[in-house]
């Protein structure tokens, strides 16, 4: 199955009715067959160092087909092609930065999960702090205004009398 590589026809394959029982049967079969096939798995990658570096690099790259997945995690066709590309470039001795530049030159800053700090990404980086600053300023303003509005007023003679009475009562109780 070709995963989501077509503009406008997003992932309908998953909802096929009947996929669940089939998957269940496969799972069951896998469990039943497991003890028989318990051998050490062959290494998927021919060169583990290259593979590890490829994964580190692609974890910070966005898959443009499934946009909230990293290039390392995506099973989309394009992601597989780009992982192949990264692998090849590692073998050619390119640095991480050169590989990231290669991606940005083709797909733009959007592929980076950690975009560079520059004029076009300024708002992205600084925006949250601006909002925080605005929030703190608004809070300070509000508190200052409120503290000015709260005026301490003395007690009226009746209230004073009532308070004294209550205090006396308390003092008497304490003596006992």
Judged by CB under 8 A, the residue of 5, 116, 132, 166 near another protein is 5
Rounded CA gap, 53 and 85, in Å? 13
127 binds another protein (CB under 8 A): no
Q: Retrieve residue 44's tokens.
A: 């998927």
Using CB under 8 A, pick the residue from 24, 110, 113, 117 that binds another protein.
110
Of 146 and 175, the one with the shorter C-beta distance to another protein is: 146
Instruction: For residue 52, give every residue at least 6 positions away whose Cβ sits within 8 Å of its Cβ, in sequence order, or none.
Output: none
Q: Minimal distance in Å, beta carbon 89 to another protein?
A: 11
Distance CA(145)–CA(127), nearest Å, equals 27
User: Which CB, 67 or 156, lies closer to another protein?
Assistant: 67
Contact between 8 and another protein per CB under 8 A: yes
d(CA 105, CA 29): 46
- Beta partners for residue 112, in sequence order: 61
Buried b (16+ CB within 10 A) or exposed e, 55-85: bebbebbbbbbbeeebbbebebebbeebbeb
Q: Site for another protein (CB under 8 A): which residue of 13, 108, 127, 128? A: 108
Q: Are 87 and 95 in contact (CB under 8 A)?
A: no
Which CB, 95 or 120, lies closer to another protein?
120
Contact between 39 and another protein by CB under 8 A: the answer reads no
Question: What x-and-dash track marks residues 67-106 binding another protein by CB under 8 A?
Answer: x---------xx--xx--x------------------xxx
Interface residues with another protein (CB under 8 A) are: 2, 5-9, 64-65, 67, 77-78, 81-82, 85, 104-110
């Amino acid at each position: 199955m070709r995963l989501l590589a077509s503009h406008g026809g997003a992932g309908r394959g998953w909802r096929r009715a009947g996929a669940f029982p089939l998957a269940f049967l496969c799972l069951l079969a896998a469990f039943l067959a497991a003890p028989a096939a318990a051998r050490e798995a062959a290494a998927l990658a021919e060169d583990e160092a290259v593979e590890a570096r490829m994964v580190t690099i692609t974890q910070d790259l966005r898959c443009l087909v499934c946009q909230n997945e990293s290039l390392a995690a995506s099973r989309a066709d394009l992601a597989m092609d780009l992982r192949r590309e990264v692998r090849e470039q590692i073998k050619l001795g390119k640095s991480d930065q050169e590989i990231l530049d290669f991606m940005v030159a083709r797909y733009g800053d959007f592929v980076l999960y950690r975009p560079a700090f520059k004029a076009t990404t300024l708002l992205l980086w600084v925006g949250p702090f601006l909002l925080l600053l605005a929030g703190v300023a608004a809070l300070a303003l509000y508190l200052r205004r409120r503290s000015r509005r709260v005026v301490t007023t003395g007690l009226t003679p009746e209230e004073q009398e009532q308070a004294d009475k209550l205090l006396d009562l308390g003092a008497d109780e304490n003596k006992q």
